[in-house]
Structure 1
């Protein structure tokens, strides 16, 4: 629950899906690298 001390019941109210919406370390890094690549492409094309 963290600072708000959330429980399983709170999760049912907050999420519309049964999948975990959080990213793990590998997924976060993968998305960050995709953003960097995309930004590099935009800069190379002169579309900053």
Structure 2
């Protein structure tokens, strides 16, 4: 079984939509999804942006 690591921040509407649609898109395929919540603002701050 292949693994997908999905980093998501719910402040992003695109991440939310992907979160909602990913199980449907992978239906019938042999993938395991590991969800990793992140704070996008914290990532930007860490990198000085």
**TM-score, normalised with respect to structure 2:** 0.29
Q: Which has the higher helix share?
A: 1
Q: Which has the higher strand share?
A: 2
**TM-score, normalised with respect to structure 1:** 0.30
Structure with more contact order per residue of length (Cα contacts < 8 Å, sep ≥ 6): 2
